[in-house]
Chains A and B, each alone.
Chain A
Amino acid sequence: MIMHRPAAALAVLVLTVSPLYAQDRRLVERLDPVTSTAVQQLVDSARALQLPTEPLVQKALEGSTLGAGGDRIRSAVGALLGQLSRARDALGPAVTDAELTAGAGALRAGLGAETLQRLRALREGRPLVVPLSVLTDLVAEGMTTELAARSVFDLARTGRPDDDFVALRRRVQTELRSGTGRGGGARPAADPPAQRP
């Protein structure tokens, strides 16, 4: 193969420099070399799939700060990569990084991809970060996934603003923590808050 001299020089430059640019300094500085390399490969995979990379870096840094071992960090970052990919499949390509991160959290909490798809359809063209986060929080507070999804769908269906989702979460949180809620199978806060004027 004949290559012109400037083109060959550029190719050599790209091949030499790009791996250096791809290295995230935070990973190199905060993780042991084996873990840093493994996490970097996961980050590169995410980039190749056009998934957000920052949540993966943050997960690794979280593990480092909280004193986790390398195996555990690699496992957590790998799991998050899979959840981001599934979240994108469920929510579609026209989704922000913040929505993908919130979607990954919802999947991690045990909600199904079909729940994310349904919410996307109900909130077509509107931001999803808060509804997805509230959905995840309700499940984390002990509500069943079915009841949490139904409560959030009720609000999404009627086009409620983000504040109403947050109000729902606060009501559930207050009731469950005070012991008055019956989170498992009841409907303590499923009734949507009053419509804003």
Chain B
Amino acid sequence: MRVDPDDAPDGTLERVIAELRRPMRLDPALDQRVLEVLRRDPIAPGPGIDSRARRFRARWIAGVATGALAAGLLVAVLRPEPGTTRPIELRLSAPASQVVVVGDFNDWDPDATPLRPGNEGGTWRVELRLPPGRYRYTFLVDGRRWVPDPAEPRAADDDFGAPTSVLTVS
């Protein structure tokens, strides 16, 4: 597994901070409901309006708003971030004119993820962003040779005869 050191493997704290920094989205109907209450029972100073009732109403509205804010914040913090991905670099040292990778992350499509030749002679590389999980994959060299990733464990089973590797993203 190759994970960018800047992305802490656990990352819970960073995720919570990111969620707290994210602008809150309140129920759009909240403003409308509050305005309806105010229109129905206008709070106008003057004879006949009990100040205690006004205070109670204001507290009630503030309480509802605070509750909605707290509930939204709680949901935002507790909800797992759906799009969390980790940067992964795959490399293969091989004399070749073309190297591609196929795996569970690209529908095993040989056209989807070509590797680029690196500066060092014979080293091919590609960067991916993957969500946490376990992925099977293999390299295809020059369109005819299947090569497992020497840096990662071999799959316990090669269902279809070609050697495959497994990558675990945490």
A residues at B contact (CB < 8 Å) = 26, 55, 58-59, 61-68, 72-73, 76, 97-98, 101-102, 105, 108-110, 127, 129-130, 132-134, 136-137, 139-141, 161-163, 166, 169, 173
Q: Which of A63, A72, A76, A162 contacts B9 (CB 8 A)?
A: A162
Q: Is B102 an interface residue (CB 8 A)?
A: yes
The smallest beta-carbon distance between B135 and chain A, in angstroms, is: 9
Q: Are B146 and A140 in contact (CB-based, < 8 A)?
A: no
A105 with B134, Cβ < 8 A, contacts A58-B104, A134-B168, A163-B9 known: yes
Apart from A58-B136, A127-B170, list 12 A-B contacts with CB within 8 A: A62-B102, A62-B104, A66-B108, A76-B160, A102-B134, A132-B134, A133-B166, A136-B156, A137-B166, A140-B153, A140-B156, A161-B10
Q: List 30 A-B contacts (CB under 8 A).
A: A55-B104, A58-B104, A61-B109, A62-B102, A62-B104, A62-B108, A62-B159, A63-B159, A64-B108, A65-B109, A68-B160, A97-B133, A98-B132, A98-B134, A101-B133, A108-B156, A108-B157, A109-B156, A127-B170, A130-B170, A136-B166, A139-B156, A140-B155, A140-B156, A140-B166, A141-B153, A162-B170, A166-B168, A166-B170, A169-B153
The answer to the question of B114 belonging to the interface, with a C-beta cut-off of 8 Å to chain A, is no
Could you say which of B108, B146, B157 contacts A58, with CB atoms under 8 Å apart?
B108
- The A interface is mostly helix, strand or loop, or mixed, namely helix
Name B residues whose Cβ lies closer than 8 Å to a Cβ of A. Answer: 1, 9-10, 102, 104, 107-110, 131-134, 136, 146, 153-157, 159-162, 164, 166, 168, 170
Write the nearest CB–CB distance from A70 to chain B, whole angstroms: 12
* With known contacts A76-B160, A108-B156, A65–B134 Cβ distance under 8 A: no
Per the bound structure, the CA–CA distance linking A92 and B163 in Å amounts to: 32
Q: Given A64-B108, A65-B108, do A129 and B156 touch, yes or no (CB 8 Å)?
A: no
Smallest CB separation, B152 vs chain A (Å): 9
Query: A61: which B residues are within 8 A, CB to CB?
Result: 107-109
Main secondary structure of the interface of B (DSSP, over half): loop
A164-B110 Cα distance, complex, nearest whole Å: 34
